[in-house]
């Protein structure tokens, strides 16, 4: 209001002070003295409006305008009034008086219904006030007005940005949200400012990622990203998130095609590595693309080998973070840890070198260079960092450690990365069962290391390893003096990780030769649970057209784990066992999965009608109940089951597994030993088939194994979460003692 006259400013001071009644009296006096000065009417009406006299305010304004018939003058006066109202609405917004600001803007909309900037502000405020509904959006008519606007240059881009953020944050699934996004995208595109286009792309991608991670609405996120693609058709960041959204929405072909385009648009080696990883993810998720996936994994090994040799300074921290998980799929193709682990370690060295350039400030502030407490018997602060402390394999297993922790000698902190609102209670359970819990989204991820440092964590435990990149970015800072990997995929190879929790079974004796982390072997098992919830089954044999006297084999793994060479062994078992069927469950494109098995079955002379593809189970507890259909569960290779193996053994069902060399190929072996059985453990392809056939044909053997599993629940290490927790705590205490001594 810098252009106000002295008299106008005197009255406006009352408005600033919030004394709207005195402001109204002042302007009434000024109108009486100088009725020809229209601006007094604008402020009198505004003062009445701010007093809540909404009916009187427009009468005052139109009283001033109504005494002229000159259209040009009317237009000039309307513009003058609009400016007064707009400036006051902006002032109220800055004061966080959103309701008042919205009310002013509704009157401004009556005066000037096609003022796009006012409509954008009204939309933003309606979302903020949670009053956006279909009727109001129709009343705004913003879509039609924006579409018919000829001069996009008058539209304030910042208002488009603000409205977009609010729409994606709080009204992304509104019935007209996609139409609004389409119009917003066209506005930004037609304005043609490259910096603004990039800003808009960032805003929409950030909103889409939140929709995927927090709301788990991948379909809507994909539709929003499709709109964004019209702004910049070959922008790699859009293609990356679009491919991910498609894949997570089970739109497999679309996800693969977007990933292929992403790869073609990638320029640097670092970008190509992650683009190819995204393509691999799509191919592996779908199933039925094994040849293409095999070519992609070979290409990935070449890309990563060349990247390590080149050892570039990567230009953006996001590109570094994505490299953390770019070797995720290698264990699904081959069991060669002596080759793959050194490559993984080399990649992590490169990542560490690069990420430290971007987080140098955090490293300087938070990395523990000196021992601050040399008390070996202190209460240790243990931090658990994960994206998966919810209904996920990590959550189902880690909850027993949280349950049994000795809270007198250990304080438990949880650091939740990108929490979701689509969880049936386990996420909240972890929050409630932590002494202290912190949650972080992408916008606040830079605060994680600071929080760990401020909490004074002694040992930070990564539960995700290479399954999720964000924790590794935090672990690279090393804000805790001791850092440990447990659960997740395998050890990451990150130089700032001190220990990798294992046992004497899940890693062979020579594993330390190719692990950078110190392997800390627990005395019995590296994992234990007290059990699992099992609900009422939803499937019966008769519903699946399976005779009651048939032998039912079950493969419960997702499409990632269906290696064709190993699947041939499973079908050979089926061939040798008359009246047997194979149930197949796991995330994959159904038609591609049918084709995958049909081709192998036909080559081995097995009727495809003996294969039954199970529908998606709404909960893990129902899946566990439906495991009761099986006589024998057939494990995968070179990547075994983990949580699925635990669930099978808990249900007392015989399991056949082949043991390899890598961590992923030895999970089931260790779990079976620690559950009290050796029947079904194979060391070769031939033994795998032999055990599968024998367990299928020998009912007494199956009963014996089931009996052993039942008895094992009384004293087997695998089912003793409390004993396991004591062993983990002993390991933590010893790690701390070693650290204290090393600082002496």
pLDDT (0 to 100) of residue 170:
85
pLDDT, average across residues 383-401: 95
pLDDT (0 to 100) of residue 660:
98
Of 163-167, 371-375, 427-431, 732-736, the poorest mean pLDDT is in 371-375
Strand order in the sheet with 681-682: 611-613, 580-584, 551-555, 632-634, 655-658, 681-682
Q: What is the pLDDT of residues 659-677, one digit of tens each?
A: 999 999 999 999 999 999 9
Is residue 628 within 8 A of residue 622, CB to CB? The reply is: no
Percent of the chain with pLDDT over 90: 82
473-487 b/e (C-beta count within 10 Å ≥ 16 → b): bbbbbbbbbbbbbbb
Is residue 359 within 8 A of residue 353, CB to CB? The reply is: no
pLDDT, average across residues 719-744: 95
Three-state secondary structure along 448-464? HHHHHHHHCCCEEEECC
Neighbours of 254 (CB within 10 A): 18
Rg of the chain (C-alpha set): 32
Parts of the chain belonging to CATH 1.25.40.10? 1-112
Residue 369: pLDDT over 70: no
pLDDT (0 to 100) of residue 203:
95
Residue 191: pLDDT over 90: no
Count CA atoms within 13 Å of residue 670 on its CB side.
27
Choose among 705, 710, 702, 706: nearest CA to 580.
702
Q: What is the pLDDT of residues 321-346, one digit of tens each?
A: 999 999 999 999 999 999 999 999 99
CA separation, residue 303 to residues 64, 289, 325 (Å):
73, 21, 14
- φ/ψ region of 383 (left if φ > 0, alpha if ψ in -120 to 50, else beta) reads beta
* More confident: 445 or 334: 334
3-state secondary structure of 44: helix
pLDDT (0 to 100) of residue 49:
95
pLDDT, average across residues 707-719: 98
CATH, range 1-112: 1.25.40.10
CATH topology of domain 361-521: Rossmann fold (3.40.50)
pLDDT, average across residues 170-189: 92
Neighbours of 71 (CB within 10 A): 8
Residue 137: pLDDT over 70: yes
Angle, helix 252-265 to helix 236-248, in steps of 10 degrees: 160
pLDDT, average across residues 173-188: 92
Strand order in the sheet with 380-386: 436-440, 410-417, 380-386, 459-462, 482-485, 499-502, 518-521
- φ/ψ region of 676 (left if φ > 0, alpha if ψ in -120 to 50, else beta) reads left
Is residue 218 within 8 A of residue 187, CB to CB? The reply is: no
- Share the mean pLDDT of the chain: 93
Sequence-ordered strand ranges (E) for 522-574: 551-555
Cα dihedral 543, 548, 549, 554 sign: positive
Q: What is the pLDDT of residues 561-576, one digit of tens each?
A: 999 999 999 999 999 9
Q: What is the pLDDT of residues 598-653, one digit of tens each?
A: 999 999 999 999 999 998 888 899 999 999 999 999 999 999 999 999 999 999 99
pLDDT (0 to 100) of residue 428:
95
pLDDT (0 to 100) of residue 507:
98
Q: What is the pLDDT of residues 505-525, one digit of tens each?
A: 999 999 999 999 999 999 999
Q: Is the backbone peptide bond immediately before 309 cis, with ω within 30 degrees of 0?
A: no
pLDDT band at 439 (very low <50, low <70, confident <90, very high): very high
pLDDT (0 to 100) of residue 328:
95
Is residue 201 within 8 A of residue 238, CB to CB? The reply is: yes
Residue 2: pLDDT over 70: no
pLDDT (0 to 100) of residue 370:
58
pLDDT band at 558 (very low <50, low <70, confident <90, very high): confident
Q: Tell me which residue has tokens 């499709």.
A: 226
pLDDT, average across residues 90-113: 95
Is residue 638 within 8 A of residue 557, CB to CB? The reply is: no
Choose among 487, 463, 486, 462: nearest CA to 475.
462
Parts of the chain belonging to CATH 3.40.50.11380? 361-521
Is residue 644 within 8 A of residue 651, CB to CB? The reply is: no
- How far is residue 208's CA from residue 495's CA, in Å, rounded to a whole number? 33
Parts of the chain belonging to CATH 3.40.50.2000? 543-719
- How far is residue 297's CA from residue 311's CA, in Å, rounded to a whole number? 21
Range list of H helices, 95-193: 98-111, 116-128, 134-140, 142-148, 157-170, 177-191
- How far is residue 186's CA from residue 3's CA, in Å, rounded to a whole number? 35
pLDDT (0 to 100) of residue 51:
94
Q: What is the pLDDT of residues 15-55, one digit of tens each?
A: 999 999 999 999 999 999 999 999 999 999 999 999 999 99
Q: How many residues does the chain have?
A: 744
pLDDT, average across residues 208-216: 90
* More confident: 379 or 214: 379
**Token pair recorded at residue 434:** 């932590």
Of 130-139, 262-271, 302-311, 693-702, the poorest mean pLDDT is in 130-139
pLDDT (0 to 100) of residue 294:
97
pTM of the shown model: 0.88
Of 234-238, 443-447, 634-638, the poorest mean pLDDT is in 443-447
Q: Tell me which residue has tokens 């992650």.
A: 274
CA angle 164, 427, 478 (to 5 degrees): 85
Assign domain 543-719 to a CATH class.
alpha beta
Residue 371: pLDDT over 70: no
């Amino acid at each position: 209001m810098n252009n106000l006259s002295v008299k106008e400013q005197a009255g406006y001071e009352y408005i600033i002070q919030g004394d709207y009644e005195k402001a109204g009296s002042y302007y009434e006096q000024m109108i009486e003295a100088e009725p020809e000065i229209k601006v007094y009417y604008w402020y009198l009406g505004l003062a009445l409006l701010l007093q809540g006299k909404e009916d009187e305010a427009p009468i005052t304004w139109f009283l001033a305008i109504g005494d002229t018939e000159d259209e040009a003058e009317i237009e000039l006066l309307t513009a003058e009034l609009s400016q007064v109202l707009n400036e006051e609405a902006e002032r109220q917004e800055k004061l966080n008086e959103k309701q008042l600001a919205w009310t002013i803007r509704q009157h401004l909309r009556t005066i000037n219904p096609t003022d796009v900037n006012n409509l954008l502000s009204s939309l933003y405020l309606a979302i903020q006030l949670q009053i956006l509904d279909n009727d109001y959006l129709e009343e705004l008519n913003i879509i039609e007005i924006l579409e018919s606007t000829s001069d996009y240059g008058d539209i304030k881009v910042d208002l488009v940005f603000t409205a977009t953020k609010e729409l994606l944050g709080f009204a992304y699934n509104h019935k007209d949200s996609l139409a609004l996004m389409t119009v917003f995208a066209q506005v930004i595109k037609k304005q043609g400012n490259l910096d603004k286009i990039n800003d808009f792309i960032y805003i929409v991608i950030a909103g889409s990622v939140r929709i995927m991670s927090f709301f788990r609405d991948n379909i809507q996120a994909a539709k929003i990203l499709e709109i964004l693609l019209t702004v910049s058709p070959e922008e790699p960041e859009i293609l990356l998130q679009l491919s991910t959204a498609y894949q997570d929405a089970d739109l497999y072909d679309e996800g693969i095609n977007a990933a292929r385009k992403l790869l073609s648009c990638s320029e640097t080696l670092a970008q190509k590595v992650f683009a190819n990883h995204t393509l691999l993810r799509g191919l592996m998720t779908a199933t039925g693309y094994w040849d293409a996936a095999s070519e992609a994994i070979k290409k990935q090994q070449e890309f990563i080998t060349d990247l390590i040799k080149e050892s570039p300074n990567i230009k953006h921290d996001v590109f570094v973070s994505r490299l953390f998980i770019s070797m995720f799929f290698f264990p699904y193709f081959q069991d060669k840890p002596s080759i793959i682990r050194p490559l993984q370690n080399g990649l992590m060295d490169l990542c560490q070198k690069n990420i430290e350039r971007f987080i140098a400030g955090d490293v300087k502030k938070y990395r523990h260079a000196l021992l601050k407490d040399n008390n070996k018997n202190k209460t240790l602060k243990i931090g658990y960092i994960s994206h998966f402390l919810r209904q996920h394999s990590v959550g189902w297993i880690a909850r027993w450690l949280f349950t049994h922790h000795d809270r007198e000698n250990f304080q438990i902190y949880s650091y939740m990365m990108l929490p979701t609102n689509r969880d049936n209670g386990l996420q909240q359970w972890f929050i409630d069962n932590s002494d202290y819990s912190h949650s972080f989204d992408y916008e606040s991820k830079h605060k994680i290391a600071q929080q760990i440092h401020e909490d004074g964590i002694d040992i930070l435990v990564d539960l995700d390893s290479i399954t999720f990149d964000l924790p590794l970015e935090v672990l690279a800072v090393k804000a805790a003096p001791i850092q440990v990997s447990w659960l997740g995929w395998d050890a990451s190879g990150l130089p700032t990780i001190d220990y990798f929790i294992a046992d004497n079974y899940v890693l062979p004796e020579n594993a330390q030769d190719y692990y950078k982390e110190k392997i800390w072997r627990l005395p019995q098992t590296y994992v234990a649970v007290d059990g699992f919830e099992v609900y009422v089954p939803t499937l019966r044999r008769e519903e699946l057209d399976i005779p009651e006297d048939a032998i039912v084999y079950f493969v419960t793994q997702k499409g990632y784990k269906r290696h064709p060479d190993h699947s041939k062994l499973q079908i050979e078992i089926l061939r040798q066992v008359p009246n047997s069927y194979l149930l197949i469950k796991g995330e994959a494109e159904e038609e591609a999965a049918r084709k995958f098995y049909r081709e192998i079955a036909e080559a081995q002379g097995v009727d495809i009608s003996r294969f039954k593809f199970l529908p998606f189970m709404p909960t893990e507890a129902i899946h566990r109940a439906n495991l009761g259909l099986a006589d024998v569960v057939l494990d995968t290779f070179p990547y075994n089951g983990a949580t699925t193996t635990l669930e099978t053994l808990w249900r007392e069902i015989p399991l056949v597994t082949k043991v390899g060399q890598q961590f992923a190929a030895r999970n089931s072996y260790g779990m079976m030993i620690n559950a009290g059985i050796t029947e079904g453990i194979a060391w070769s392809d031939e033994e795998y088939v032999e055990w599968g056939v024998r367990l299928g044909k020998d009912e007494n053997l199956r009963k014996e194994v089931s009996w052993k599993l039942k008895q094992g629940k009384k004293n087997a290490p695998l089912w003793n979460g409390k004993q396991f927790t004591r062993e983990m705590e002993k390991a933590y205490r010893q790690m701390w003692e070693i650290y204290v001594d090393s600082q002496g």
